[in-house]
Amino acid sequence: MWDGPIPPAEKPDPNNHLQYMRLALDQAQESPPKPSNFRVGALLVDADTGAILSRGYTLECEGNTHAEQCCLLKYAKEHNLPEERVGEALPLNTVIYTTMEPCNLRLSGNLPCADRIIRTTSLTGKRNIKKVYLGVKEPEKFVGENQGRKKLEEYGIECIHVPGLEERILSVATAGHEQ
List the catalytic residues: 68
CA distance to 16, 31, 176, per residue, from 167 (Å): 20, 17, 16
100 binds, among Zn ion, ligand HJL, none (CB under 5 to 8 A by kind): ligand HJL
Instruction: Tell whether residue 108 is a contact of ligand HJL (CB under 6 A).
Output: yes
- Kindly identify the residues of this chain, within the stretch 65-94, that bind Zn ion according to CB under 5 A: 66
Residue 174 in the binding site for ligand HJL (CB under 6 A): no
DSSP assignment string, 129-150: EEEEEEEEPPPTTSSSS--HHH
Q: How far apart are CA 126 and CA 114, in angstroms?
A: 17
Residues whose CB falls within 8 Å of the CB of residue 113, separated by 6 or more in sequence, listed in order: 66, 68, 69, 102, 103, 148
136 lines the binding site for Zn ion (CB under 5 A)? no
Among 24, 25, 90, 103, binds Zn ion (CB under 5 A): 103
**C-beta of 4 vs 141, nearer to Zn ion:** 141
Q: Is 126 exposed, middle or buried (0-12, 13-18, 19+ CB in 10 A)?
A: middle
Q: Which C-beta is closer to Zn ion: that of 59 or that of 90?
A: 59
**Which 121-160 residues touch ligand HJL, going by CB under 6 A?**
138, 142-143
> DSSP label at 165?
-
Q: Where are the alpha helices (DSSP H) in 29-66?
A: none
Which span (71-79, 108-116, 117-125, 153-161) binds ligand HJL, by CB under 6 A? 108-116
Phi and psi, residue 141, nearest 5°: -120, -40
CB of 134 to ligand HJL, least distance (A): 8
Choosing from 20, 22, 24, 37, the residue that interacts with ligand HJL (CB under 6 A) is 37
Listed ranges 2-10, 43-51, 74-82, 100-108: which one lies at the site for ligand HJL (CB under 6 A) = 100-108
Distance CA 123, CA 131 (A): 17
Q: Which one of 102, 115, 131, 149 is in contact with ligand HJL (CB under 6 A)?
A: 102
